[in-house]
Structure 1
């Protein structure tokens, strides 16, 4: 997780992230830091290992709090670096962070770099776009201006994933527009998946996604588009003390869930939520976006 120092609404990402809104408060960054610190504390209190690195003020990277878009870590020891839509987000890729992982005992064997695609204006923003079922080696991806199909296929060939491709849309001023990242409408856990099926307008694509989930034994927990706009799809399952599992989400997302949905989730794991109001409003991302999960092997 990357602690922000220049957090604000990023004007370069707002062109196709319809979740973002501007706040004029002078202390937006300070409020985001407070939310970040409280979130990290909650994770650590249940035994989740959290590695925090600090952003650099001189780089002016307002979205650095969302590291999962530029990097992913894999059981093979490989690290993938991804091409980013917004130019000012490309400065978030700091390889010096990886030394911190090695200090923590993780083994890095190779860096697979897709960032040259930026020269052709082609993008694939990490696990923002890629919902990875690592057990069944499937990569679910909603195509968008930030998720190029050819790059998705290249990733899947390199990392031996099966692509599950679809279009996902949201209503913006009575128009259907592509959702910028798959991870705002879909979450993959070990035994279940949370998904906004209403976002997949094509019935065949919707049925294909459901079939893939069910054939892998996932319970499908459906959220509405209204709940998606409360970040109810932007969640991540993590492991805490004694291998206990938690589904991590924002307090806003937690409040949007029905009692029935909460019961279904809690049949599989506990819920951990934290207030991320300013980060969600200005950044257009939530709890899942803030965590770049580390699957690297131990050295």
Structure 2
């Protein structure tokens, strides 16, 4: 199963630009606003987004962040945890020290209370002590249908750790580096999921970011061999977070492609038409979250594939 109807989302209480992630997240901007105002706007955007998702028939489990941990990026839970069909929960090593406090056992307890089965926790977080990181489904794009995983290497996605993950989950690794221009220099993009989205029958990808021709060809070969339609976006569209999308199941099994309003507005009629053949676009304004957090819709949604407890 490639997509799910159930999402975990964390409502922010101290959202702001995280100075510890800004060192290699070049999508972040410093807004000239008080932190309290930034958090208020982010909460409004979050609440409206959840309402849009629920209105489309998506099951959204909302957890409130905790004030005492001071975790400005808690709104992006997909980086520290993933939930798998066989009942496995994976905990990931995080680059920024203040993001490591986002990991919460009580969230796993809540999912069990809601009837989800957790059979095993796979914990890669010890790698932090060695300065090695792999930030969840920000770094790893799973093709669950064809047992593959895509990863753009960066400070937050270590190659050796990614290969270890692929061996543990018995999936084929597809490895490359994606770049963006920062003050005239090509630097690695911090997360795979800002330049690429894998849906059931198509992939949205900014191929221009993969500077190495062999790597670009390898990624394309994998996508095409698996029968996926490749919908290419430009670097400018990527900077509007058009790569940061997630396909989910809505009401009555309807396929939805979820993205921000900015991402939606950046798409061409042709791209919208190609997406529309299999999925309905669902979008919501996330301007403050995108500017200060350097992440968008996909980063805010942790997919829950865990089996339900049979009762």
**TM over 0.5, yes or no?**
yes
2:279 is matched with which residue?
269
2:53 is matched with which residue?
43
1:297 is matched with which residue?
307
2:113 is matched with which residue?
103
2:232 is matched with which residue?
222
Once residues 32 and 20 of structure 1 are traced to their aligned partners in structure 2, the CA distance between those partners, rounded to angstroms, is 14
1:13 is matched with which residue?
21
Report the 3-state secondary structure (helix = DSSP H, G, I; strand = E; otherwise coil) of the residue aligned with 1:263. helix
2:174 is matched with which residue?
164
Once residues 110 and 55 of structure 2 are traced to their aligned partners in structure 1, the CA distance between those partners, rounded to angstroms, is 21
1:94 counterpart (104, 119, 141): 104
CA displacement, residues 52-105 of structure 1 (integer Å, 9 cap, x when unaligned): 001000100000000000001111100100000000000000011011111221
Report the 3-state secondary structure (helix = DSSP H, G, I; strand = E; otherwise coil) of the residue aligned with 1:207. helix
Once residues 118 and 49 of structure 1 are traced to their aligned partners in structure 2, the CA distance between those partners, rounded to angstroms, is 33
1:257 is matched with which residue?
267
1:242 is matched with which residue?
252
Gaps in structure 1 of 5+ consecutive residues: none
Output the aligned Cα RMSD: 0.5
1:192 is matched with which residue?
202
1:152 is matched with which residue?
162
1:179 is matched with which residue?
189
Cα shift at 1:24: 2.6
Once residues 144 and 11 of structure 2 are traced to their aligned partners in structure 1, the CA distance between those partners, rounded to angstroms, is 27
Gaps in structure 2 of 5+ consecutive residues: 1-8
1:232 is matched with which residue?
242
Once residues 73 and 166 of structure 1 are traced to their aligned partners in structure 2, the CA distance between those partners, rounded to angstroms, is 25
1:114 is matched with which residue?
124
1:82 counterpart (83, 87, 92): 92
2:211 is matched with which residue?
201
Moved over 6 A (4+): none
Cα shift at 1:13: 0.1
Figure out how many residues of one structure are paired with residues of the other and give that number: 299
Report the 3-state secondary structure (helix = DSSP H, G, I; strand = E; otherwise coil) of the residue aligned with 1:97. helix
Report the 3-state secondary structure (helix = DSSP H, G, I; strand = E; otherwise coil) of the residue aligned with 1:298. coil
